[in-house]
Amino acid sequence: MTVEIMLVLGVALIAIILFATEKLRIDAVALLVLFSLVILGLISPSEALSGFSNQATVTVGAMFVLAAGLQNSGALSGIGSLLGQAKSPFLFLLVLFAVLAVVAPFVNNTAVVAVFMPLVITSAASIGMSASKALIPLSYVSQMAGVCTLVGTSTNLLVNAMAQDLGHPGFSMFEFTPLGIICFLAGCFYLLTVGRWLLPDARANELVEQYELGKYITELRVLPDSSLIGTSVAEARLGRDFGVFVLELLRGERKVWSPRSQILKEDDILIARGDWSKLDQLRAKAGLEINTEFQLKARTLEEGTQQVLTEVMIAPRSRVIGSTLALLDRRWQHNATVLAIHRRGERLREQLKDVTLNVGDVLLMLTPEAEMKALRRDSNVIVLSQREADRPRGWRAPFALITMALVIVLSALSWVPIAITSLIGALAMTLAGCLDADEVYDAIDWRILILLAGLLPLGIAMSQTGAAQFIVANSIGMVSDFGPLVVLAVLYLMALLLTEFMSNAAAAVLLTPIGMSTADMLGVDSTPFLIAVTFAASTSFATPVGYQTNTMVYSAGGYRFTDFVKVGLPLNLLFWVLGVIFIPVFWSF
């Protein structure tokens, strides 16, 4: 082992640990990797910057804009309305899977889930179906459909670009489609049969008790005429009478020890937890008020303005992740009053203004009805309200669909590179008003672009220094005597495990050069191994943190971590078996 190999493997190992532990943002990790490779002399400055001009990075950025144009124009909402026609749970899932089969191969699956999640929750409730029976399938099927085309996921584009840099001719638009369709159909059949039985069936009241869904944390201030003044929290019996539990008692700037035994005074603040209806009932009956410290630009509303109670989830690519509610006041673009916050699996015990927002946090807000349209267009949040969204009408929806179709067709025919067609399509949608110029920048997940640009040079370093060949010789190479099929199975399984605990893009970057080196070691075509890496890295079912769409439905569906393991692990194994069987059929060694 050379010094260069040791250094590259050391950088890769540290990156894997940082990705898995989530101590730093994924884009920060990618930049640290990039800077480390340059400082250690493992890549040249031009190679370090090559990721920013790579066609995969450019295409992924443009595809984010195209997806936003489809969403804002109302094209996806129109297709999603088909869900409302289903009359039974089985038919509902069948229609959902059919719609996703049409949309998800060409639209970023995070955007697809963000659009369909409120529709699924509402439509499922209308037929008496638990949302927990539909949200995990929504996430899984969007992934399964996304792997059917080159542009279905950023991982597909990334593997394609890296493979081309390493000497592979690359993949066509529908290269993955034959295997993708087989896996999609098998996955849907599993979710409609065995998977449907394994999914939790939690109705609204059960979600509250079993999963703590709907339990909000808010701040209640004791008013001068409150009936609680002079009594302790224990004596008030708030838990028994209202189902509300006081987590902390703030008096001035300090937390009071043993809040249940303290005699309440005017202006005391109770950090309380419970169903919102119960919290509001307690507020009205006991002479309390919602602490107005975290009203966001809501003080300028005209008298008589109609407001609606709205639940919004912090989206995966939101710019407010890591902000507190106090900082959010400076970044927020909407009139809103944050009433409470719900975080899956945690009981917050700090003042709400000090709570750091994470992906999946749900904020309960009062919002002027006139601003609901703008709120739904905000990529930083996902509106979970059951109020039906206003659907834009006119020519922009069909224009967006035609533009997207042309992008796909021209690229599929190899007339124009996908990076160029996607850029032209994004520009056309912007000029047509499918989204505003400012919304273009909001639509792009810059963290993903930085991740791609920062990690692509790691693949170059692994290949040039011989680190990829070293890994192959000391891991996969041990089973090389059993033939390429067994090696393919091991590589697929390696990618499958790695993807469940770190960024799928990072897993693809690490394993693509390993796939190429594996083929060189065996003296066979590298395409089957690259296909295995692509499919394994693009489909993560066994954990809620393995893929962004899983994280989104984790909170909204009130799932446990084990629900993903029970339903997703058999699906991962099914895809592994299908991949090992059919990859050599479509792409011979």
Which residue, 157, 81, 158, 72, is CA-closest to 435? 72
pLDDT of 334 reads: 65
pLDDT of 252 reads: 75
Which residue, 504, 448, 486, is CA-closest to 67? 448
pLDDT per residue as tens, the chain (589 positions): 788 888 988 888 888 788 777 677 778 888 998 999 899 888 888 888 888 888 888 888 888 888 888 877 777 666 656 766 777 888 888 988 998 898 888 887 777 787 787 778 777 766 777 778 888 999 999 999 989 988 888 888 888 888 888 888 888 889 999 999 999 999 999 999 998 888 887 544 443 333 344 466 777 888 888 888 888 878 888 777 777 777 778 887 677 767 777 788 888 888 777 776 777 788 888 888 876 544 544 444 444 456 666 778 787 667 777 777 666 655 566 667 777 777 765 556 566 666 777 777 777 777 776 777 777 767 777 777 544 444 445 778 888 888 888 988 888 887 888 889 889 998 998 888 888 777 788 778 787 788 888 888 888 888 888 888 787 777 777 787 788 899 899 999 888 888 877 777 778 888 888 888 888 888 889 999 999 999 998 888 888 877 778 877 876 677 888 888 899 999 999 999 999 999 999 998 8
Q: Which tokens hold the place of 507?
A: 């897993």
Same fold, 224-286 and 295-383: yes
Measured between alpha carbons, how far is 563 from 198 in angstroms, rounded to an integer? 8
pLDDT of 77 reads: 63
pLDDT of 213 reads: 42
Q: Go through 398-412 and write b for each residue having 16 or more CB atoms within 10 A of its CB, e for each that does not.
A: ebbbebbeebbebbb
Q: Which tokens hold the place of 372?
A: 């609901």
Measured between alpha carbons, how far is 149 from 179 in angstroms, rounded to an integer? 10
pLDDT of 583 reads: 94
Angle between helices 26-39 and 3-21 (to 10 degrees): 170
Q: What letter would DSSP give residue 345? A: T
Measured between alpha carbons, how far is 148 from 107 in angstroms, rounded to an integer? 12
Measured between alpha carbons, how far is 192 from 201 in angstroms, rounded to an integer? 14
| HEC letters along 548-568 | HHHHHHHHHCCCCHHHHHHHH
Q: Where are the domains of the chain?
A: 3-202+401-586, 224-286, 295-383
pLDDT of 5 reads: 86
Measured between alpha carbons, how far is 416 from 400 in angstroms, rounded to an integer? 19
Fold of 224-286: Alpha-Beta Plaits (3.30.70)
For 295-383, CATH gives 3.30.70.1450
Taking residue 481's Cβ as centre, other Cβ atoms within 10 Å add up to 8
CA separation, residue 554 to residues 37, 137, 293, 540, 564 (Å): 36, 12, 30, 14, 9
pLDDT of 210 reads: 39
pLDDT of 180 reads: 93
